[in-house]
Amino acid sequence: MTPEPQRLQYLEAMGLTAWVSRYRLPNALPTPACEWEAASPVAEGRRAPGERLHALLDEAAEAQVAAPRPAPAEPEPRHRPSAGKARALLGDLVPTDEPEAAPETPGLAPVRHGEALRFTLQVACLDGRWLVLLPREAPPGSVELRLLRHLLHAAGVVPEQMPAFEAFRWPQVEGLPVEAPLEEAREGLQAFLAGRQRRGWVPERLLVFGEDESLAEILSLADGHCPLLALQAWQGPALGELAGSAEAKRALWPQMAGWRDAWQAGREAD
């Protein structure tokens, strides 16, 4: 425990006024008797308060060393005690305005901000059941919409009305720090689709017309399944490619063989 005279010296060196009672208050314990060290006012007055504090800390740190340290191979610079040691010597009298920095853990790399994934989707949902994604900036034109309606009708998928496409862009806000680009983009798409549930969107299947590198990384389609959305999924050529190629249309036809049964089964389940 730090002696009372030394505690008062620390407070004085920091510029804090120490109050000592001159009279015994009613029902109070008597002031402990102690011998006060007589400080030279001339010598102390010539030193700044900060220098006096560090000098006291150095003396206390040297007194706590039980065994002498081995001499280093090269001379080491003299370091002043940290704020934590000062608080320990003062008996936790120093207010902690700022928390101490946590010690660095070896082997852990600092968090680095990355670049956000950038993509734009045109999104629609057939009768609130089949989710249609077009990775492109502009919404589909009249020719592409007519082609999509004919393809769906030929496959036995006949919604009550063709829905309008709406755009989803990521990132939605520019300039924000990004720590996990892929995870944040996935969460953004999931949040967008969750918000459309108020419109009656309950997707049962996913149709993707076109390819995009960022979207492929986000959806991670494998074996006709989208693990991100937990949906059966299909991906084929873009509508623009289908509109300008008869060969692409013929190649698409066998892939739509099971769409009629899946559409009817979902409707009967409703």
In sequence order, the 6+-apart residues with CB closer than 8 A to the CB of 227 are 220
Please compute the mean of the pLDDT values over residues 186-214 and round it to a whole number: 95
Q: Are 210 and 201 in contact (CB under 8 A)?
A: no
DSSP-derived pairing of the beta strands 225-226 and 231-236: antiparallel
Q: Which two tokens stand for residue 50?
A: 């900060």
Higher pLDDT, 182 or 17: 182
Residue spans of alpha helices (H) in the chain:
4-13, 41-45, 49-63, 83-89, 142-154, 181-195, 213-219, 239-243, 246-252, 259-269
Compute the distance between CA of residue 226 and CA of residue 42 in angstroms, rounded to an integer.
Answer: 82
Per the prediction, the chain carries an average pLDDT of: 79
Please compute the mean of the pLDDT values over residues 99-115 and round it to a whole number: 52
Give pLDDT, residue 260. Answer: 95
Question: Is 5 a residue whose pLDDT tops 70?
Answer: no
Strand (E) or helix (H) holding 226: strand 225-226
Q: Give pLDDT tens digits for 230-268.
A: 999 999 999 999 999 999 999 999 999 999 999 999 877
Residue with tokens 């806000």: 173
Q: Are 199 and 124 in contact (CB under 8 A)?
A: no
For residue 198, the SS3 value is helix
Give the end-to-end CA distance of the chain in Å, rounded to a whole number: 77
Give pLDDT, residue 108. Answer: 40
In sequence order, the 6+-apart residues with CB closer than 8 A to the CB of 215 are 119, 121, 133, 135, 208
Compute the distance between CA of residue 133 and CA of residue 209 in angstroms, rounded to an integer.
Answer: 6
For residue 63, the SS3 value is helix
pTM value > 0.85: no
